């Protein structure tokens, strides 16, 4: 197997796990503190129980998201060390925002979880606010990097006595036309998929629960998440369109997605056709919209869903999770084999003597061959199978615990 195939496979594998858990995490980071605050204010013990269960799930799985992020970084370092060296030299500011917020987020999760019923209400709420703020700002840092990888706005090359030194002008980087649609789309997608997945689970649990107060809370939570999910899906259409339009300035990427569907820019064609991923994503999106609309109508008509409706909502949540993963893969593969999508016609002036180096470093085909040795890869497969199965077993134990809660 070619080195680039191995590298891209592992990067895509761990990133898919990571991005799914992270999206659920953004939603829970916002929803749990709000839900708990509301439950306390209304004296609703059932709702408090729902928020606590969501927090338990979050606390248990967040580290798993972190470990897949670390795996992604280390695989990137091992397969593409020269790229990471370059990125490290340039992208201090956006990564720094993300890192500081990650530390704050980890701390907030631990404090919020262990401080439940131990801290003063005001202190606990304050930590909840930190949890929500950090959940919003982590993706801002990372999406700045992703926008830079679309088109490197703000990149300069200074010719100094020590050679050619790349640097990033942060103010300019924040004007990247692809940044805000990407960031907002990511946030709304996270909230939507989180609402649908947890709402679906709550709806199914509703039919198993015996405690009336808890049942009422699950019902209320499901109703709210259906509304959030439906509004989110509608907003996603417009944000998706905005992001698509912003990508017209990145011809290579845009054409890889849309040219085979008859929409190209600059008269170009797809060099690496990923339009099928886009079509699949759209099918998933429409399926979610249909399912959620049906559930919404059922709730409007009868006050709540029947078992079939609950299952529909759960399927919509699972489809949402799959759509998130597909969207990320689409975004990444549409610029294959380049790390920076418009590396061949960037909006920056590259000194001629630096161009060959950059083209080499930014090409995914140039894999560190030391990291793709057969022995290392056999070990990787062995460990990944064992640990992926362990992770699934772990999630099973977590869900079993929640079963007991009902």
Partner 1 sequence: MPSWSIYPASADRLLSFIGIGVHWSILQYVLGLPLLAFIAELIYLKTGNEKWMRLAKTFVKGFVIVFAVGAATGTASEFGLVLLWPNLTEAAGRYIYFPLYAEVFAFLMEVVFIYLLWYGWERLPKKVHVIVMLLALIGPWFSGAMIVSVNSYMVAPTGIHPAYDPTTGEWLYQQGYPKLLLAVPNDYVSLLNVTLLQQLGMEIVKNQPANANFTLVLMPVKIVNRLAYESWHGYTVKDSILYLVLKPEYRNNAQLLNTPVKAIVDKILVTTINYVGVESVTFKSPVYRASILHVLGSAITVSSFTAFAGFALRKLKGYKPEDEDYIDTGLKYTLLFALIAIAVQGFVFGHEMGRAIAYYNPEKFAAMEATSNTTFSISRAFHLEGFMKMLAYGSTSAHLPNYDKIPDDYCVLGVTQSLKTEEMSRVGSCKPPLLIHYVYYTKIGLAILVGLYALLGSYYVVIKKAIPPKWILSLALPAAVVIQMVSWMGWAVREIGRKPWTIYGVMTPDVAHTFNPAPTSAVAAVALFFIVILLALAYLVWKVLWIPGRPVSVEGE
Give min distance, CB of 214 to partner 1, in A: 15
Give min distance, CB of 159 to partner 1, in A: 10
Judged by beta carbon, residue 37 or residue 107, the one nearer partner 1 is: 107
> Contact with partner 1 (CB under 8 A): which of 12, 77, 287, 348?
77
> Contact with partner 1 (CB under 8 A): which of 9, 38, 41, 74?
74
> Contact with partner 1 (CB under 8 A): which of 1, 43, 118, 262?
118
What 3 state SS string does 76-144 have? Answer: HHHHCHHHHHHHHHHCHHHHHHHHHHHHHHHHHHHHHHHCCCCCCHHHHHHHHHHHHHHHHHHHHHHHH
Using CB under 8 A as the binding criterion, the count of chain residues that bind partner 1 stands at 74
Give, as ranges, the residues between 348 and 387 that touch partner 1 (CB under 8 A).
Answer: 357, 368, 370-371, 373, 375-376, 379-380, 383-384, 387
Give min distance, CB of 138 to partner 1, in A: 11
Judged by beta carbon, residue 238 or residue 396, the one nearer partner 1 is: 396
Give min distance, CB of 110 to partner 1, in A: 5
> Contact with partner 1 (CB under 8 A): which of 102, 137, 359, 406?
102
CA distance 276 to 278: 5
Give, as ranges, the residues between 137 and 196 that touch partner 1 (CB under 8 A).
Answer: 162-168
- Residue 226: count of CB within 10 angstroms of its CB: 27
| Close Cβ partners of 252 (under 8 Å, ≥ 6 residues apart) | 268, 271, 335, 338, 341, 342, 344, 345
> Contact with partner 1 (CB under 8 A): which of 27, 58, 75, 333?
75
Enter the tokens of residue 319: 């489809």
> Binding of partner 1 at residue 231 (CB under 8 A)?
no
> Contact with partner 1 (CB under 8 A): which of 9, 34, 82, 238?
82
CA distance 331 to 321: 16
> Contact with partner 1 (CB under 8 A): which of 115, 260, 337, 346?
115
- Residue 14: count of CB within 10 angstroms of its CB: 22
Give, as ranges, the residues between 253 and 292 that touch partner 1 (CB under 8 A).
Answer: none
Cis amide bond preceding 357, omega within 30: no
CA distance 29 to 186: 14
Judged by beta carbon, residue 306 or residue 353, the one nearer partner 1 is: 353
Instruction: Please report how many Cα atoms fall inside a 13 Å half-sphere around the Cα of residue 19, on the Cβ side.
Output: 24
Enter the tokens of residue 271: 């060099």
């Amino acid at each position: 197997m070619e080195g680039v195939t191995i590298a891209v496979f592992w990067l895509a594998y761990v990133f898919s796990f990571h991005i799914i858990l992270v999206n659920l995490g953004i939603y829970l980071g916002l929803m749990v503190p709000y839900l708990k605050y509301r439950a306390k204010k209304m004296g609703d013990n059932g709702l408090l129980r729902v928020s606590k269960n969501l927090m338990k799930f979050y606390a248990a799985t967040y580290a798993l998201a972190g470990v897949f992020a670390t795996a992604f970084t280390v695989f990137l370092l091992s397969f593409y060390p020269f790229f990471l060296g370059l990125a490290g030299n340039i992208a201090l500011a956006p990564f720094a925002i993300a890192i500081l917020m990650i530390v704050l987020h980890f701390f907030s999760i631990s404090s919020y979880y262990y401080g439940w019923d131990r801290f003063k209400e005001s202190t606990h709420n304050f930590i909840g606010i930190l949890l929500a703020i950090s959940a919003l700002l982590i993706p801002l840092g990372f999406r700045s990097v992703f926008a830079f990888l679309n088109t490197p706005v703000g990149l300069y090359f200074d010719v100094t006595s020590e050679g050619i030194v790349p640097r990033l002008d942060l103010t300019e980087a924040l004007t990247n036309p692809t940044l805000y649609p990407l960031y907002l789309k990511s946030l709304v997608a996270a909230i939507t998929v989180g609402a649908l997945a947890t709402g679906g689970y709550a709806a199914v649990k509703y039919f198993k629960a015996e405690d009336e107060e808890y049942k009422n809370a699950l019902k209320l939570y499901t109703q709210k998440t259906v509304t959030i999910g439906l509004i989110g899906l509608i907003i996603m259409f417009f944000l998706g369109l905005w992001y698509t339009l912003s990508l017209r300035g990145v011809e290579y990427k845009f054409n890889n997605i849309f040219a085979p569907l008859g929409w190209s820019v600059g008269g170009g064609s797809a060099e690496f056709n990923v339009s099928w991923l886009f079509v699949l994503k759209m099918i998933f999106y429409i399926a979610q919209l249909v399912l959620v609309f049906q559930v919404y109508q059922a709730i409007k008509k009868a006050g709540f869903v029947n078992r079939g409706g609950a299952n529909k909502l759960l399927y919509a949540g699972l489809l949402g999770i799959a759509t998130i993963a597909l969207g990320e893969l689409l975004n990444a593969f549409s610029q294959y084999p380049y790390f920076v999508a418009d590396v061949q016609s960037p909006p920056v002036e590259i000194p001629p003597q630096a161009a060959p180096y950059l083209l080499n470093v930014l090409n995914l085909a140039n894999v560190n061959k030391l990291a793709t040795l057969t022995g290392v890869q056999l070990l990787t497969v062995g460990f990944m199978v064992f640990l992926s199965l362990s992770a699934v077993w772990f999630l099973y134990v977590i869900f079993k615990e929640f079963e007991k809660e009902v």
